[in-house]
Structure 1
Amino acid sequence: MLGDMMGMMGKLKETQAKIEETKNRLNTVMVEETSPNGEISVTMTANREIKSINISDELLEDKEQLEDFLILTLNKVIEKATKVQEAELAAVAKEGMPNIPGLDLFK
Structure 2
Amino acid sequence: MFGDLSGMMDKLKQAQQKVEETKQRLNTVLIDESGADNKIRVTVTANREIKSIIIDDSLLTDAEELEDYLILTLNKALKRAGEINEQEMAVAAKSGMPNIPGMDGLF
Partner of 1:74 in structure 2? 74
2:25 counterpart of 1:29: no
Code of the aligned partner of 1:10:
D
Structure 1 runs not aligned, ≥5 long:
none
Q: Distance in 1 between matches of 2:36 and 2:81?
A: 18
Structure 2 runs not aligned, ≥5 long:
none
Partner of 2:12 in structure 1? 12
The equivalences for 1:80-95 within 5 A come to 80-95=80-95
Number of aligned pairs? 106
Q: Distance in 2 between matches of 1:35 and 1:101?
A: 48
Code of the aligned partner of 2:27:
N
Q: Cα distance, 1:36 vs. partner?
A: 4.3
The equivalences for 1:94-105 within 5 A come to 94-103=94-103, 104-105=105-106
Secondary structure of 1:25's partner?
helix
Q: Distance in 2 between matches of 1:75 and 1:65?
A: 15
Secondary structure of 1:48's partner?
coil
Partner of 1:60 in structure 2? 60
Once structures 1 and 2 are overlaid, which stretch shifts more, 30-39 or 42-51?
30-39
Structure 1 runs of 4+ aligned residues shifted over 3 Å read none
Q: Distance in 2 between matches of 1:57 and 1:49?
A: 24
Q: Distance in 1 between matches of 2:28 and 2:67?
A: 28
Partner of 1:45 in structure 2? 45
Secondary structure of 1:53's partner?
strand
Deviations 1:27-48 (A, max 9, x none): 1110111114321010011111
The TM-score with structure 2 as length reference comes to 0.92
Secondary structure of 1:82's partner?
helix
Percent of aligned pairs sharing the same letter: 60
